[in-house]
Amino acid sequence: MTNSILHLGLMEDGEIELDLAALELAALDHPGVDLNEYLDELTDIEIALRAADGDAVNSVAQAQALSSVMVEEFGFSGDRTHYDDPQNADLIAVVDRRLGLPISLSILYVAMARRLGWSAIPLNTPGHVLVRLGDASDALIIDPFNDGRIVAPEQVEALL
């Protein structure tokens, strides 16, 4: 495992698979954990997303598919009750508990979108992380912490 983590530091940003990297880093706090169980869970999410609307060509349909699968089917949501709980930043715990911080949930949303070939990037705003889906002409911003809801441009502006 240590070799794979060292390897992450040598990779170009675009080569890093966010979900896999986050799992490898989280495994440092879970000695002996079998990451295959978590990789299988991520694959199950990917399969469900493909079944829901894997052919979605616009960002609105992609956002709806992500929200439907991540929230309704798999139960992921932001942890409003215990926001500062360290488990909310640990992707292994997030997958187990289905609760997380904006950053950890954004990692999952971005990773799942990219697995389907969709354009997705995390957007770091002060105190919050959002996800941009689509390219410049079709861009849409969603909030994984708030059940993948679409964020209006004026709401993003207010965060800045």
pLDDT digits (tens, 9 = 90+) for 125-158: 888 999 999 988 889 999 999 999 999 888 888 8
**Is the predicted pLDDT of residue 4 greater than 80, yes or no?**
no
- Radius of gyration over every alpha carbon of the chain, rounded to an integer in angstroms: 15
Question: Any idea which residue has 């996800």 for tokens?
Answer: 131
Give the helix/strand (H/E) hosting 37.
Answer: helix 35-53
Domain range summary for the chain, segments of one domain joined by +: 2-159
Contacts of residue 100, defined as CB under 8 A and 6 or more positions apart, other chains included, come to: 76, 78, 79, 88, 89, 91, 94, 108, 145
pLDDT score for 5 = 74
The topology under which CATH files domain 2-159 is: C8orf32 fold (3.10.620)
Model pLDDT for residues 84-131, shown as the tens digit of each residue: 999 999 999 999 999 999 999 999 999 999 999 999 999 998 889 999
